[in-house]
Chain A
Amino acid sequence: MKKLNVTYSNANRVESTRGARSRKDGILRRYMNKKYLFIMFLPVFLYYFIFHYAPMYGVMIAFKDYQFLQGAFRSPWVGFAHFNELFHTEYFWTVLKNTLIINGYKLLFGFPAPIAMALLLNEVMQPVFKKVVQTISYIPHFLSWVVLSGLVIEFLSPSRGPINMVITLLGGEPIFFVADENWFRSILVATEIWKHVGFNTIIYLAAIAGINPEMYEAAKVDGISRLQAMRYITLPSIAPVIIIMLILSSGSIINDDFEQVFNLLNVKVMDVGDVLSTYTYSEGLVRMNYSYAAAVGLFKNVVALAIVLTVNAIARRIRKDSAIF
């Protein structure tokens, strides 16, 4: 302690003869010089503090036995009891498995889909066709899952839907898709891709537009085919964008699309369709097991953060310019 003091005063003496007080004034003066910027920033600070940092503090109820009347602060600590319960609940493992399977397939098929679509759009020579396809395929992106679930349920309806009409025409039995355990996950994956594929091409089309056209011209002289141009020019040129997008979406393997699953979920498919976010909702807000649900949520957030950091670290090792931090 004493040694520390000495170093501190020494440093002060070297830096300035006016002592620590004026250094503090220095910081204050620097802030005063920018007071208008900080007046502007004040509501922003309050917003982040209240709606982002305060709830982070609120995760402590995952380690407490939250009693409504006592509030988050005075409820008794229980340590890792909720996590213990969590990992010993069989249904939690079902939910975790559903989450990983559904989101794994969403990532596996959903991530390359807009890249493929952008490559195909790039092959289209007629600007009108290109524009029409883009305009139409963006529409689902702007509609809520409430509306889209209505569309999906109507379209897949066993008694009225055109899909089942085709099945019966071909001599099959109508399938109640959204209430069928064998189909439910596929529907989640397919509709998620369907909603976002068009809109997500924007980013890749922008990257493709930035490629130097001389590369294509030189390749054409060499007699390169369209497929080869895709493989050797377009894809490598947009690789940095692809990697950044992959890092950003890697966390989604555990962060599910609550609105989609919740709107399509029904009692018949709980065992294959209940995911972490819907489980958090039903445990926390329906059954009011606040602490237990907070533990589920905390588990999910920590895993998501770990995944993003890991993928980012891998990306940095492979290509320095691809990592986002």
Chain B
Amino acid sequence: MKQTAFTDKLVIVFAYTILSLLGLSSLLPLMQVITLSMSPSEVINSYSFHFIPLKFDFKGYATVLANENLWRAYGNTLLRTALGVSLTIVLTFCAAYPLTKKDLPHRTFWTAFVVLTMFFSGGLIPLYLLIKSLGLMDSIWALVLPPAINTFMVMVVRNFIAELPESLEESAKIDGANDIVILFRIVIPLSLPIIATVGLYSGVYHWNAWFDSMIYIQDGKKHVLQFVLRKIILLGNTAEFEMTGQNQNVTDVESIKMATLVVSIIPLLLVYPFLQKYFVKGSLMGAVKG
């Protein structure tokens, strides 16, 4: 009995230690970048842990915030996210709602038609050639149409709608409502938590996407934030900033990089508390019933 109590304590100590380390491993790199972004160059270039800013220098931010290209990219991302999310929500419901109806003709076939795409796809090259031949190159539609429906989400939403009480819809039907009216007046208002989930998943997807912007968009003015960010951070391409006429040296490049990084994640950190709550709920809906 005593032996058990001892191992139990050991387990608890172990759990707290490992989990603390895990938490720190997510937090520290972020703190490092935030600190570096507001530090003068001699701090940036010194070997050290930079988790709390001690000396301040906002030159990096000044350069970034004065840069027109970055603001345009920000705007493009916002537009893309807004358009993409609305399209996704509407289409996801248009797919999920009919599939919940047991008397839908050939329901099994239509479900299979949707679900099959989860397990097989044409791949990158055929999709690229398709977008090209549809004439969608250089257009925002190339970014929002291909990922407009996530099949896994359709299944989650379908399961959610199927759980709603049937009597509500029946009474609406007696009052003469058709399926489209029922969807908008009854099903959608009852589905707000799942709409938030679908919206958040698709919002994060569009906010973070850059590869499609890289391959489908040639016009520099139409590129999204993450793509511009990638050029600056990973390829060290700060040529865009040099046009602002400031004297550049190597260390400034580093503080610009870090400041750009922070600027791009600020919106996410702002909505994060809200985001997290819904994401957890939404993922559970998928997990428990899916």
Contact = CB atoms under 8 A, between A and B. Distances in A.
> Most chain-B Cβ atoms within 10 A of its Cβ — which of A38, A53, A120, A165?
A120
A277 B46 CA distance: 37
A239 to B, nearest CB: 15
B179 A36 contact: yes
Interface in B197-226: 204, 207-211, 215, 226
B128 A285 contact: yes
> Most chain-A Cβ atoms within 10 A of its Cβ — which of B32, B45, B105, B264?
B105
B11 to A, nearest CB: 5
A172 B94 CA distance: 60
Interface stretch (A42-50, A85-93, A94-102): A42-50
Interface string B5-24: 00110011011101110110
A107 B23 CA distance: 22
A153 B265 CA distance: 17
Contacts of B110: 41
A55 interface: yes
A149 B117 CA distance: 30
Binding site secondary structure of chain A: helix
A271 B145 CA distance: 35
B230 interface: yes
A180 B230 CA distance: 21
> Most chain-B Cβ atoms within 10 A of its Cβ — which of A30, A57, A123?
A123
B47 A160 contact: yes
Interface stretch (A8-16, A290-298, A313-321): A290-298
B23 A143 contact: no
A310 interface: no
A179 interface: no
A263 interface: yes
Contacts of B229: 146-147, 150
Given A55-B123, A135-B276, A160 B19 contact: no
A149 B230 CA distance: 9
Nearest to B6: A225
A37 B98 contact: yes
A55 B47 contact: no
A198 B16 CA distance: 15
A136 B94 contact: no
A142 B268 contact: yes
B208 A143 contact: yes
B122 A159 contact: no
B26 interface: yes
Given A162-B49, A294-B125, A300-B123, A40 B183 contact: yes
B104 interface: yes
Contacts of A140: 26
A268 to B, nearest CB: 14
B283 interface: yes
Given A37-B98, A40-B183, A124-B19, A297 B226 contact: no
B139 interface: no
A117 B16 CA distance: 11
Interface residues of B, number: 93
B129 A72 contact: yes
B190 interface: no
Interface string A117-148: 10011011100010011011111101111110
A152 interface: yes
Contacts of A269: none
Interface in B155-175: none
B268 A146 contact: no
A98 B25 CA distance: 27
Given A58-B126, A129-B16, A285-B215, A34 B103 contact: yes
B32 to A, nearest CB: 6
A151 to B, nearest CB: 4
B179 A146 contact: no
Nearest to A55: B122
Nearest to A52: B117
A145 B47 CA distance: 25
A155 interface: yes
A69 interface: no
Given A71-B133, A206-B288, A147 B26 contact: no
Nearest to A116: B18
Contact of B211 (A38, A197, A259): A259
B36 A154 contact: yes
A47 B117 CA distance: 12
B52 to A, nearest CB: 13
Given A37-B104, A206-B284, 16 more contacts: A44-B91, A55-B126, A55-B130, A56-B120, A58-B126, A61-B126, A117-B19, A124-B15, A138-B276, A146-B233, A147-B226, A155-B29, A159-B45, A206-B288, A280-B123, A297-B123
8 contacts: A40-B183, A51-B127, A51-B148, A61-B126, A61-B129, A151-B30, A154-B258, A162-B49
Interface of A: 27, 30-31, 34, 36-41, 43-45, 47-48, 50-59, 61, 71-72, 117, 120-121, 123-125, 129, 132-133, 135-140, 142-147, 149-155, 159-160, 162, 164-165, 168, 194, 197-199, 202-203, 206-207, 210, 223-227, 241, 258-259, 262-263, 277, 280-281, 284-285, 290, 293-294, 297-298, 300-301, 305, 308
